[in-house]
Amino acid sequence: MSMDVTPRAARPDREQLAEWAATLEGKPVEQILQWAAEQYAPRISLACGFGMEGCVLIDVVARLSLPIDLFTLDTGLLFPETYALWSQLEAKYGLTIRAVRPERTVEQQAVVEGPALWTVDPDRCCELRKMQPLRQTLAPVDAWVSAVRRDQTPDRADLPVVGWDGRYGLVKVNPLVTWTSEDVRAYLKTRDVPYNPLHDRGYPSIGCAPCTTPVAPGEDPRSGRWRGREKKECGLHLRPRTA
Ligand code: SF4
């Protein structure tokens, strides 16, 4: 989907956002995404990270033929299973999930920043391979859709269904905030939606291959991300403290 370059729509005021969030709280994902498309298409994008939740959203967008731009941040370092799932979803639903790539390939980055930057400075690596491309992709749109759930991290615990994303300066729609991981699995099973086979091999949360390890029973689901480091978020969904 091509993006126009007209200025962004005016920011909805706090009362408007609160009213939308209250109205849509607990509503079916179909209703929330339908609302979002009616409100913001064609200037609305959905970020798919190919987690189970993202697969749910792709299924809904495809079933309802919603005019929402779909993209993924292709760092060049995803698991082979993730790249296979990407193709599988596009084939099953007959849609395109746009690749948003960093300015440099992994090899070019190694020349400029040093090899395996993720082992030395993962924050810089995420900034170059995820954050910068995401900012560029979101710049021309008025709203984006994420697949986050409230119970994934403390920072996400009070996320509204619709809110202002102060980090990127646009509206953020979170249709699955009230869902649990069991809800997600049940949806995928009921609707026979493809998902990453790594989820059944001890990877509840999947990011780039060099920064993702399996999780033992009883461990925090995100403990396999950047294992051994305090870092547990690439930063995409962190909220500025002043937002
Ligand atoms: S998750 Fe790891 S490899 Fe991927 S961009 Fe971040 S630091 Fe780099």
Beta strand pairing call for 162-165 and 44-47: unpaired
Distances in whole angstroms, Cα of residue 197 to Cα of each of 52, 201, 217: 10, 7, 17
Between 5 and 141, the higher pLDDT residue? 141
User: How far does residue 65's CA lie from ligand 1's centre (Å)?
Assistant: 32
Ligand 1 pocket, mutate which of 82, 125, 128 (most atoms under 8 A from CB): 125
Ligand 1 pocket, mutate which of 72, 74, 75, 229 (most atoms under 8 A from CB): 75
Ligand 1 site, residue 130, Cβ cutoff 6 A: yes
**Helices (H) then strands (E): counts for the chain:** 9, 6
Q: Is the pTM of this model over 0.95?
A: no
User: How far does residue 202's CA lie from ligand 1's centre (Å)?
Assistant: 20
- Rounded average pLDDT over 204-229: 88
What are 71's strand-pairing partners? 47, 98
Residues 9, 14: Cα–Cα separation, whole Å: 15
Q: Which tens digits make up the pLDDT trace of 29-47?
A: 999 999 999 999 999 999 9
Q: Can you tell me whether residue 92 is helix, strand or coil?
A: helix
User: How far does residue 43's CA lie from ligand 1's centre (Å)?
Assistant: 28
Identify whether 211 is a catalytic site residue. Answer: no
Between 129 and 4, the higher pLDDT residue? 129
Using a CB cutoff of 8 Å and minimum separation of 24, what contacts does 79-84 make?
79/196, 79/198, 79/206, 79/209, 79/212, 81/196, 81/197, 81/198, 82/50, 82/196, 82/198, 82/206
* Domain covering 14-211, topology: Rossmann fold (3.40.50)
Phi-psi region at 199: left, alpha or beta (left = phi > 0; alpha = psi -120 to 50): alpha
User: How far does residue 64's CA lie from ligand 1's centre (Å)?
Assistant: 33
Q: Which tens digits make up the pLDDT trace of 161-185?
A: 999 999 999 999 999 999 999 999 9
Ligand 1 site, residue 234, Cβ cutoff 6 A: yes
Q: Which two tokens stand for residue 240?
A: 């500025």
Nearest CA to ligand 1 atom 1: 208
